[in-house]
């Protein structure tokens, strides 16, 4: 049973459990549909099954049940086959079979040749405030320079961003060099159903010109494609930010669009660049 305070919103069951696999079934009350309960419930079921040592979670639905198909896809399941089965009334019906491979969760910290990428910690307030309160850092970002209050709120948000297939649909990582935080990089889902995401990054200007940002972004792109099985990852930025645009090209992102004066930022109209890369263009590491 899914419970939101004392409100009943649906049910979920695991059955046909074997040492390596189980099947999941779910139902959402009509009054609670469209609120994301099915996706969250399926994620909880996947996490429980993975923590129990299972390798695969399967599900079945009918071809005409488009809502169920969207829920399964958004929760990381993929259609693997179609078959004809019998209903409790003895009638034959076509069934769609879905499966989610319960890959191990990403291991933190993520190490590259020179860097350490880790999840945020409560002690990150100081360097985040020092970095994001700088006008030159905030110039091409959507936010104004951070105040201490904003930094506190932003850190609270980032502490929860630990898995793009989790509740927040986002992953926020600190970039460390020689044990010192020098920036951060984030990956988040923009389309749960079709496995599309967006990446963003900020580096301390004092650490520029050494390839640190490129190294971190390449690692997170690989994580998105190889671990999370994303179909497409984009990066959007202020067109005046030539350093970020050059980085996007270096890591293999393709310029797909240049929108002219589409965003009013800090008192002026600005252009936006959109870069992207497909899973089919990515070479697994």
Q: Higher-confidence residue: 91 or 220?
A: 220
**19 pLDDT higher than 90:** no
The count of residues in the chain is 285
Q: Please, what's the b/e burial string for 259-278 (b: 16 or more CB within 10 A of its CB; e: otherwise)?
A: eeeeeebeeeebebbbbbbe
Contact 24, 42 (CB under 8 A): yes
In this prediction, residue 104 carries a pLDDT of 60
CATH topology of domain 110-281: Aminopeptidase (3.40.630)
Q: Please, what's the b/e burial string for 26-55 (b: 16 or more CB within 10 A of its CB; e: otherwise)?
A: bebeeebeeeebbbbbbbebbeebbeeebe
In this prediction, residue 86 carries a pLDDT of 67
Q: Domain boundaries in the chain? A: 2-101, 110-281
Q: Tokens representing 32?
A: 């609670």
**182 pLDDT higher than 90:** yes
In this prediction, residue 90 carries a pLDDT of 65
pLDDT one-digit tens code per residue, 75-108: 778 888 898 876 556 677 888 999 988 766 677 8
Percentage of residues in the chain having pLDDT higher than 90: 65
- Let me know if the fold of 2-101 is the same as that of 110-281: yes
The CATH number of 2-101 is which of 3.40.50.920, 3.40.630.30, 2.40.50.140, 2.60.40.4070? 3.40.630.30
């Amino acid at each position: 049973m899914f419970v939101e305070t004392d409100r009943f919103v649906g049910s979920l069951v695991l059955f046909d459990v074997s040492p390596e696999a189980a099947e999941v079934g779910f139902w959402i009350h009509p009054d609670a549909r469209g609120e994301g309960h099915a996706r969250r419930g399926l994620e909880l079921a996947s996490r429980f099954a993975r923590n129990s040592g299972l390798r695969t979670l399967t599900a079945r639905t009918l071809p005409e049940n488009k809502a169920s198909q969207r829920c399964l896809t958004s929760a990381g399941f993929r259609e693997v086959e179609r078959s004809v089965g019998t209903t409790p009334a003895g009638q034959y019906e076509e069934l769609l079979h879905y499966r989610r491979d319960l890959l191990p969760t990403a291991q933190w910290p993520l190490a590259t040749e020179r860097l350490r990428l880790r999840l945020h910690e409560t002690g990150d307030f100081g360097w985040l405030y020092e970095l994001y309160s700088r006008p030159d850092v905030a110039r091409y970002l959507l936010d104004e320079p951070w105040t201490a209050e904003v930094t506190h709120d932003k850190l609270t948000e980032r502490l929860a961003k630990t898995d793009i297939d989790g509740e927040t649909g986002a992953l926020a990582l600190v970039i460390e060099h020689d044990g010192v935080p020098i920036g951060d990089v984030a990956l988040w889902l923009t389309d749960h159903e079709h496995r599309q995401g967006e990446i963003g990054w900020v580096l301390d200007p004092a650490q520029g010109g050494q390839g640190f940002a490129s190294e971190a972004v390449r690692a997170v792109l690989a994580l998105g494609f190889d671990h999370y099985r994303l179909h497409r990852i984009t990066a959007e930025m202020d067109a005046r930010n030539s350093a970020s645009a050059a980085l996007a090209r270096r890591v293999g992102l393709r310029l797909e669009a240049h929108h002219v004066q589409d965003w009013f930022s800090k008192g002026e109209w600005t252009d936006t660049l959109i870069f992207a890369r497909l899973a089919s263009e990515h070479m697994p590491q």
